[in-house]
């Protein structure tokens, strides 16, 4: 194993009386590919800034091998004092660096170098910052959310560039696919401490779940041991009329150990407030086109969106995704063609730039509208502090102004505001920006459970693969095509590895209905699928009863003390039953959706 060229050892840092980092560590060797993961607020960016020499820890060792160059990519680059993007990028070069590399990288990233930094979009600012960091070809590059605001083409270019360079990488990103493609080791930062897995991100989540499960079991064992010791103190000491000081001291030590165990600060609880169902048809577009300055943005596009569809929109920044979305939702009229909207639509939009968040609002006012302590969720009211906790905000943050929130906190605030309003149509424009991986998982579950329709604009390939039922992507000269499935399936269909559903979808409504009747007339469920659809509910109910039984059994305070082996078996059986239940429910849902599609085709 190569010797480390950067070491952070036993790093401690406290902000505002609360420990942020407690004994955190990071070791980087030449050409390492390390991803740094953890929740928003866990200290990931702070640890990178300590490694970059931008923040001094309260205590601990920071070692950088002499002669090693380190460059840091911040989430929000500072362009103050620079007249052009080329000036900014070249400022990262040191004597002896290739003077032309900054201009080359800017060109590769779609910039001329003449842009005014004060007029850059979020994506352009990120590209300029990447050029500045990559141009010197340093020994270590510290990347804080490098894919934020980048489109898929730019993300894939960045992946290839990072694979080809000799620099060691330490990366923070919410983009799973990006981390899976690049990382070879993982540092998990949680509750102030760091753990290292010498495998890439693709192995992290299973490893993390095993660690958390073992910690929960250890806590349970500790709780049971405390109960046994308390029982001995109450009855054993009285019987003997003699206090065993050592055992009493041990009990106090156990209690102190339990108190000092820092538990996770909760999980985001998301639940969208759903309005009454819309009609079966949500949107139908026929031959819509839109041009700006004689440039075709959308050309002769047709589609049909039905209730419950999850439609993804992908493509480079500026290609026209937002224009197409606005035409479908009626916000923008097409130059040609027609758009028909369904009945009873109640739409809620999530703005990617957080522009409808007033920076002077307090967190409480942003959720309540001001003048009240209550949040109205549909026809029910909740205290704002209670609702804040569902999205991982602490009660003391209620008076915090929006401008003081981190990017991740503003993202969670936007989600909290959007999901409080009743809707049957969600418009999500880059909802994954600045969200941590756990929040992304919960957002995914929310969308999966949402009974309405979802239109999603995203550059997150993994999120699209997990969420959407179809993907609309640009071709040439304003043409757009809809593909079945997520981003990966879209790529496969473009390469001819799968069939394109778009031509059939883009017929006239009359022809489409006729084609649907013909194509569905011969669709049938197999005998095995029908049998599974009938028997799975019984199996699910049985598993649910078993889980309730195991929970009741393990709730017995004396169970572990009385039968440690039986407790372990019950815990294992509970885990197995919960796994089987999840698989059975998912299988039943797939079959039920297939049955509904076949029946809908016969109508």
Q: Can you give the CATH number for the domain in which 541 is found?
A: 1.10.287.380
Q: What is the pLDDT of residue 420?
A: 80
Identify whether residues 130 and 44 lie together within a single domain: yes
- Give the mean pLDDT of 14-23: 85
Does residue 573 sit within a domain?
A: yes
CB 141 within 8 A of CB 33: no
Ranges 60-64, 121-125, 562-566, most confident: 60-64
- Give the mean pLDDT of 476-491: 90
- Dist CA 281 CA 316 (whole Å): 29
Identify whether residues 56 and 131 lie together within a single domain: yes
CB 440 within 8 A of CB 412: no
- Look at residues 188, 206, 224 and tell me which one is the last residue of a structural domain: 206
- Dist CA 120 CA 93 (whole Å): 22
DSSP H helical ranges for 152-203: 152-164, 176-182
Residue 587 has pLDDT above 90, yes or no: no
At 52, the pLDDT band (50, 70, 90 cuts) reads very high
How many whole angstroms from its chain centre is CA 307? 25
- pLDDT tens string 367-388: 888 778 888 776 678 888 888 8
Q: What is the pLDDT of residue 273?
A: 57
Identify whether residues 171 and 229 lie together within a single domain: no
- Residue 468's φ and ψ, nearest 5 degrees, are -85, 150
Does residue 36 sit within a domain?
A: yes
For residue 534 the two structure tokens come to 């009938």
- Residue 516's φ and ψ, nearest 5 degrees, are -60, -40
Identify whether residues 172 and 241 lie together within a single domain: no
- Name 262's Cβ contacts closer than 8 Å, sequence gap at least 6: 191, 192
- Dist CA 213 CA 190 (whole Å): 15
- Dist CA 407 CA 45 (whole Å): 12
Identify whether residues 15 and 73 lie together within a single domain: yes
Does residue 348 sit within a domain?
A: no
- Dist CA 229 CA 250 (whole Å): 9
Q: For the sheet with 4-15, list strands across it.
A: 18-29, 4-15, 59-64
At 520, the pLDDT band (50, 70, 90 cuts) reads very low
- Dist CA 590 CA 318 (whole Å): 36
Which residue would you say has higher pLDDT here, 431 or 248?
A: 431
- Dist CA 269 CA 255 (whole Å): 30
For residue 556 the two structure tokens come to 């017995």
Task: State percent of the chain over pLDDT 90.
Answer: 40
Task: State percent of the chain over pLDDT 70.
Answer: 83
Does residue 355 sit within a domain?
A: no
Residue 159 has pLDDT above 90, yes or no: yes
Identify whether residues 92 and 164 lie together within a single domain: yes
Identify whether residues 232 and 130 lie together within a single domain: no
Identify whether residues 192 and 50 lie together within a single domain: yes
- Give the mean pLDDT of 75-95: 94
589-598 exposure pattern, b = at least 16 Cβ within 10 A, e = fewer:
eebeeeeeee
Does residue 439 sit within a domain?
A: no
Which residue would you say has higher pLDDT here, 296 or 591?
A: 296
Identify whether residues 216 and 196 lie together within a single domain: no
Q: For the sheet with 336-341, list strands across it.
A: 295-306, 281-292, 336-341
532: nearest Cα among 571, 584, 493, 486: 584
- Give the mean pLDDT of 62-71: 96
Q: What is the pLDDT of residue 92?
A: 92
Identify whether residues 119 and 157 lie together within a single domain: yes
Does residue 90 sit within a domain?
A: yes
Does residue 215 sit within a domain?
A: yes
Does residue 501 sit within a domain?
A: no
- pLDDT tens string 304-321: 998 888 999 999 988 999
Ranges 209-223, 262-276, 391-405, 520-534, most confident: 391-405
What is the overall mean pLDDT for the chain? Answer: 82
- pLDDT tens string 189-237: 998 999 999 999 999 988 988 888 888 877 777 777 666 665 555 554 4
At 272, the pLDDT band (50, 70, 90 cuts) reads low
- Range of 30's domain? 4-206
Question: Can you give the three-state secondary structure of 320-359, one letter per residue?
Answer: CHHHHHHHHHCCCCCCEEEEEECCCCCEEEECCCCCCCCC
- Give the mean pLDDT of 466-486: 91
Identify whether residues 99 and 228 lie together within a single domain: no
At 250, the pLDDT band (50, 70, 90 cuts) reads low
- Dist CA 309 CA 485 (whole Å): 11
460: nearest Cα among 85, 131, 179: 179
370-392 exposure pattern, b = at least 16 Cβ within 10 A, e = fewer:
eeeeebbbeeeebebbebbebbb
How many whole angstroms from its chain centre is CA 483? 23
- Dist CA 359 CA 148 (whole Å): 21
Residue 99 has pLDDT above 80, yes or no: yes
How many whole angstroms from its chain centre is CA 31? 27
- Look at residues 243, 260, 277 and tell me which one is the last residue of a structural domain: 260
In DSSP terms, 380 is beta-bridged to 377
Specify the number of domains making up the chain. Answer: 3
Q: What is the pLDDT of residue 515?
A: 40
Identify whether residues 218 and 148 lie together within a single domain: no
Q: What is the pLDDT of residue 430?
A: 83
Q: What is the pLDDT of residue 355?
A: 54
Q: What is the pLDDT of residue 565?
A: 81
- Look at residues 260, 294, 329 and tell me which one is the last residue of a structural domain: 260
- What's 165's domain CATH number? 3.40.50.300
Residue 392 has pLDDT above 80, yes or no: no
């Amino acid at each position: 194993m190569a010797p480390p060229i950067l070491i952070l050892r036993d790093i401690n840092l406290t902000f505002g009386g609360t420990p942020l980092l407690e004994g955190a560590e990071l070791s980087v060797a030449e050409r390492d590919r390390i991803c740094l993961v953890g929740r928003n607020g866990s200290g990931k960016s702070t640890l990178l800034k300590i490694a970059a020499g931008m923040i001094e820890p309260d205590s601990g060792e920071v070692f950088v091998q002499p002669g090693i160059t380190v460059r840091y990519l911040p989430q929000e680059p500072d362009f103050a004092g620079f007249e052009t993007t080329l000036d900014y990028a070249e400022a990262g070069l040191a004597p002896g660096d290739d003077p032309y590399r900054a201009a080359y990288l800017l060109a590769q990233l779609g910039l001329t170098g003449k842009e005014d930094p004060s007029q850059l979009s979020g994506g352009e600012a990120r590209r300029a910052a990447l050029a500045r960091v990559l141009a010197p070809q340093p020994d270590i590059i510290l990347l804080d959310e490098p894919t934020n605001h980048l489109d898929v083409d730019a993300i894939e270019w960045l992946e290839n560039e990072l694979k080809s360079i000799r620099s060691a990488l330490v990366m923070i990103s919410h983009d799973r696919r990006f981390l899976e493609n690049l990382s070879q080791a993982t540092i998990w930062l949680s509750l102030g401490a760091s753990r290292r897995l010498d495998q890439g991100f693709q192995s992290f989540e299973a490893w993390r779940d095993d660690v958390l499960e073992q910690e929960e079991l250890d806590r349970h064992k500790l709780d049971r041991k405390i109960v046994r010791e308390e029982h001995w103190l109450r009855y054993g000491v009285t019987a003997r009329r003699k206090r065993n000081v050592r055992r009493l001291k041990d009990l106090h030590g156990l209690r102190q150990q339990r108190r000092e165990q820092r538990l996770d600060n909760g999980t985001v609880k998301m639940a969208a407030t759903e309005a009454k169902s819309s009609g079966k048809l949500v949107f139908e577009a026929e031959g819509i086109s839109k041009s700006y300055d004689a440039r075709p943005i959308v050309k002769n596009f047709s589609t049909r969106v039905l209730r419950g569809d999850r439609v993804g929109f992908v493509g480079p920044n500026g290609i026209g995704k937002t224009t197409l979305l606005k035409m479908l939702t009626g916000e923008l009229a097409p130059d040609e063609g027609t758009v028909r909207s369904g009945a009873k639509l109640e739409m809620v939009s999530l703005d990617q730039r957080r522009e409808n968040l007033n920076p002077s609002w307090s967190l409480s006012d942003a959720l309540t509208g001001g003048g009240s302590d209550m949040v109205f969720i549909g026809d029910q009211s909740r205290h704002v502090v209670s609702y804040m906790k569902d999205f991982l905000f602490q009660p003391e943050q209620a008076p915090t102004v929006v401008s003081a929130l981190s990017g991740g906190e503003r993202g969670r605030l936007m989600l909290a505001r959007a999901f409080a309003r009743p809707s049957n149509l969600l418009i999500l424009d880059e909802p994954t920006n600045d969200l941590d991986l756990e929040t992304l998982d919960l957002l995914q579950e929310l969308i999966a459970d949402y009974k309405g329709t979802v239109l999603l604009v995203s550059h997150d390939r993994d999120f699209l693969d997990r969420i959407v039922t179809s993907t609309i992507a640009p071709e040439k000269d304003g043409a757009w095509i809809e593909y079945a499935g997520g981003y990966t399936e879209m790529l496969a269909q473009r390469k001819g590895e799968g069939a394109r559903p778009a031509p059939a979808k883009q017929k006239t409504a009359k022809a489409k209905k006729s084609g649907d009747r013909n194509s569905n007339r011969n669709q049938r469920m197999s005998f095995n699928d029908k049998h599974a659809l009938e028997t799975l509910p019984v199996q699910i109910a049985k598993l649910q009863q078993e889980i309730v039984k195991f929970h009741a059994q393990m709730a017995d305070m004396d169970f572990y003390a009385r039968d440690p082996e039986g407790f372990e078996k019950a815990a294992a059986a509970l885990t197995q039953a919960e796994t089987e239940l999840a698989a059975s429910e998912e299988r039943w849902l797939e079959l039920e959706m297939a049955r509904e599609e076949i029946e809908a085709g016969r109508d």
